[in-house]
Amino acid sequence: MSFMSQVALQLLLLLPLIFAPIMTHADTEILSFNPPAEELLSKANGLDPIAMQLALDAYNSATERGLVKKPYLTIIDYSKPSTEKRLWIFDLTQKKMLYELHVTHGKNSGQNIASKFSNKMNSLQTSLGTFITENTYQGRNGYSLRLEGLDRGVNDNAKKRGIVIHGASYATADYIKKRGRLGLSWGCPAIDKAVNEKVITLIKNGSVVFAYHPTNNAIVAAFPMTRVLHKNHRSLSLTSLLYS
């Protein structure tokens, strides 16, 4: 981990102490993270500490709502170019990193670097925020995994848009060598076909996927704030505030 990443992480971990006097008991309960972000970051080369902290917050929120059935957390850091491995899968029970992979973004989000994101139908852009994995199916891209977006106005059209995890021949290191970047999807986070089946089988049916990008609101993103539950129990997470 770089020096600046360590500094950023330490600042994140100090925020609950700084703001403790103005928080309610409920606030401070939700701000606890287990396992610690620092321990997981030490296993993930290049993962942004803010992305990790927000992903753990998203996992805790989904757990409190009874949506999490498996202890796996998938983090995609779209601040990185597609030429870098930017998808990590963690086992939060064992405190292990299980996978570090290349992953695509939508064709209208950018070429090598994603800079545009959308929740709109037919946008062909990547969606950010928190997702819960659902069931699998065999489609035109083979073995695929449905995703339910939890952030209202940010990714809650994911199922309608057909945003799924699937394997692709254009999501490999060999493709990067030939083209200088990964291929582009229609908004789906596609991964290497060589590991697709194993990954999907592992994380299907109730694990958390968190897609991150530091927008112009990056300073706000440094605060490990928590979600607010609506009457219909939809989650308005920090990512909703950042990316809406």
Nearest CA to 144 out of 158, 129, 128 is that of 158
Is 69 inside any structural domain?
A: yes
- Which pTM does this prediction carry? 0.78
Residue 11's pLDDT is: 56
pLDDT digits (tens, 9 = 90+) for 111-168: 999 999 999 999 999 999 999 999 999 999 999 999 999 999 999 999 999 999 999 9
Percent of the chain with pLDDT over 70: 73
Gap between the Cα atoms of 213 and 107, Å rounded: 16
Three-state SS at 200: helix
Domain range for 51 = 3-112+123-243
Check: CB of residue 36 under 8 Å from CB of residue 203: no
Is 221 inside any structural domain?
A: yes
Is 117 inside any structural domain?
A: no
AA identity, residue 241: L
Q: How many domains does the chain have?
A: 1
Gap between the Cα atoms of 35 and 29, Å rounded: 15
Is 118 inside any structural domain?
A: no
Is 236 inside any structural domain?
A: yes
CATH of the domain at 217: 2.40.440.10
Is 103 inside any structural domain?
A: yes
Contacts of 218 (CB under 8 A, 6+ apart): 50
